[in-house]
Amino acid sequence: MRDGKMADNIVEPCESNPPGSVNDLSEETKKEADEFKEKANEYFKKKDYSQAITFYCEAIKLNPTVAAYYGNRSFAYLKTECFGYALTDASHALELDKTYLKAYYRRASANMALGKFKLALRDFEAVMKARPGDKDAQAKYTECSKIVRRLAFEKAIAVDDGKKSIADQINLESMSIEDDYSGPTLEDTSVTLNFMKHLMETFKSQKCLHRKYAYQILLDAKKLFANQSSLVDITVPEGKKFTVCGDIHGQFYDLMNIFDLNGLPSECNPYLFNGDFVDRGSFSVECIFTLLGFKLLYPNHFFMSRGNHESITMNQMYGFEGEVKSKFSQQMCELFTEVFQLLPLCHCINNKILVMHGGLFSDDTVTLDDIRKVERNKQPPETGIMCELLWSDPQPQCGRSPSKRGVGIQFGPDITKRFLQRNRLDYVIRSHEVKQDGYEVAHDGKCITVFSAPNYCDTMGNKGAFVTLTGGELKPNYTTYEAVVSSICVTVSCRRPHL
């Protein structure tokens, strides 16, 4: 599958002419275009990718015949995770120059992010043939080839009805607690408030939860989520507070800051975390066990929605699988997959606010009942309601557009208005996108984005935010905050574009 974060104000691909259509450019025009490219490169070096894209666009407008302009803009789109745009630009570059090897890398990286591993493998193979001594190309080809073979093997042996659940293979009784273990312990296999407080202090000290308790939490969480609908209804009583948080992405210390600012979850202080709990940050394991622990402690007052990162491919590409293997085991990775597949897809607050990770739909007729009927116990499909709930984004103009991510759609204010009217809702809250202030209000106040991971990936410089509502009027209030500690952006080598 694909990733999902983008900076604000991303410029769409733009050319005044199709690639290669201009043959009689003056030297002055070529020089001016190259100056824009150099300016874009300077912004790229400063990690201001949005501004870099703006100037690459200007260069392309003046001279749409240079493959490197598209290749560079493709790289900037990869950095802002607009994989659909990155793929298009890399292909344009190759239309102009079949020997431009960097474009093969860009296109392969975009296809990897889109889960199109066979296409990515083809491009890595092209680079390897052109540069047989290139160790980086060989490594990427080998890694991508392993993924393709593994997926083919899994498909060959898959027997849907007979496949045994990982959860059924876990034997907790065989797991002993070492005498020197000093971390939190479950009380009669149950999560308590004391356990959660001890757990958070343990994680703050960068110590580990014992694997027996980790497995117990996952097994209990799986049972709990299995009994929920794809759309969960939430009631917030008159005058009571309710908090909605966006993406956390493994930024554990920023998660702790949310609780410092807004209070620990409790029956009197309920929360909804709106997907993308893991990947990217270095402490995804700590984040997910903290959230699942609170879910078990307060099942009717703590809620979790699935994000696009709660999927196998995303976890393989963006760090979570590697982190779980390092801290626990491959078996636990597979159990996480079973838990993630049962996470609800969205929540409806007081029959007035729909909260989902991504956005709205390519079909105007979708109702809340349609969402409730979605079979979610699977990996996200490429199209349809589940896909769009996890992947879609708002756009300022009316109508619908292809997604800059390469999956889902972009939907305008008219689409939001019709959906709300059809389903008798007041507004939607979604996450999925970096916003400079941690939140954004769009579509005449009817579409709110909240993103709770400040200074995302240690590069974006954004604030984090959460939304608080009060039962009754349900007016959104916003709290913003800066990052409290730097965290490492975890990636896998196969997705790093070649420089």
Which has the higher per-residue pLDDT, 82 or 254?
254
Q: How far apart are CA 349 and CA 385, in angstroms?
A: 19
Residue 2 has pLDDT above 70, yes or no: no
Which has the higher per-residue pLDDT, 92 or 136?
92
Q: How far apart are CA 327 and CA 15, in angstroms?
A: 48
Distance of CA 397 to the CA centre of its chain: 24
Q: Could you read off the pLDDT of 394-407 as tens digits, one per residue?
A: 999 999 999 999 99
Instruction: Report the amino acid identity of residue 19.
Output: P
In this structure, whether the domain defined by 27-157 belongs to CATH 1.25.40.10 is answered with yes
Fill in the DSSP letter of residue 346: E
Catalytic residue chosen out of the listed positions 309, 347, 357, 443: 309
Domain residue spans of the chain? 27-157, 169-495
HSE on the CB side for 225, CA within 13 Å? 27
Q: Which helix (H) or strand (E) holds 315?
A: helix 312-317
Indicate if 309 belongs to the active site.
yes
Q: Could you read off the pLDDT of 59-89 as tens digits, one per residue?
A: 999 999 999 999 999 999 998 889 999 999 9
Q: Could you read off the pLDDT of 437-481 as tens digits, one per residue?
A: 999 999 999 999 999 999 998 888 899 999 999 999 999 999 999
User: Which two tokens mark 444?
Assistant: 């005449």
Over range 342-350, report the average pLDDT: 98
Lookup result for tokens 């052109």:
130
Residue 158 has pLDDT above 80, yes or no: no
Q: How far apart are CA 352 and CA 231, in angstroms?
A: 13
For 250-283, give one letter per residue: b (16+ CB within 10 A) or e: bbbbbbbbbeeebeebeeebbbbbbbbbbbbbbb
**Residue 245 backbone phi and psi in degrees, to 5:** -115, 150
Lookup result for tokens 């960068």:
206
The DSSP code sequence of 98-165 is TT-HHHHHHHHHHHHHTT-HHHHHHHHHHHHHH-TT-HHHHHHHHHHHHHHHHHHHHHHH--TTTPPP
**Residue 247 backbone phi and psi in degrees, to 5:** -55, 140
Residue 7 has pLDDT above 70, yes or no: no
Do 27-157 and 169-495 come out as alike in CATH topology?
Answer: no
- pLDDT in the model for residue 374: 97
- Residue 379 has a CB neighbour count (10 Å cut-off) of 15
Over range 192-212, report the average pLDDT: 97
Residue 324 in 3-state DSSP?
helix
CATH of 169-495, one of 3.60.21.10, 2.60.120.560, 3.90.226.10, 3.30.70.141: 3.60.21.10
Task: Report the largest interatomic distance among the alpha carbons of the chain, rounded to a whole angstrom.
Answer: 79
Q: Kindly indicate the confidence band of residue 206, based on its pLDDT and cuts at 50, 70 and 90.
A: very high
- pLDDT in the model for residue 153: 79
Residue 115 has pLDDT above 70, yes or no: yes
pTM of the model: 0.87
Q: How far apart are CA 269 and CA 259, in angstroms?
A: 10
Q: Exposed, middle or buried, 21 (CB in 10 Å: 0-12/13-18/19+)?
A: exposed
Q: Could you read off the pLDDT of 366-387 as tens digits, one per residue?
A: 999 999 999 999 999 989 999 9
User: Which two tokens mark 324?
Assistant: 């779980």
Which has the higher per-residue pLDDT, 16 or 351?
351
Residue 357 has pLDDT above 80, yes or no: yes
**Residue 481 backbone phi and psi in degrees, to 5:** -160, 155
Residue 237 in 3-state DSSP?
coil
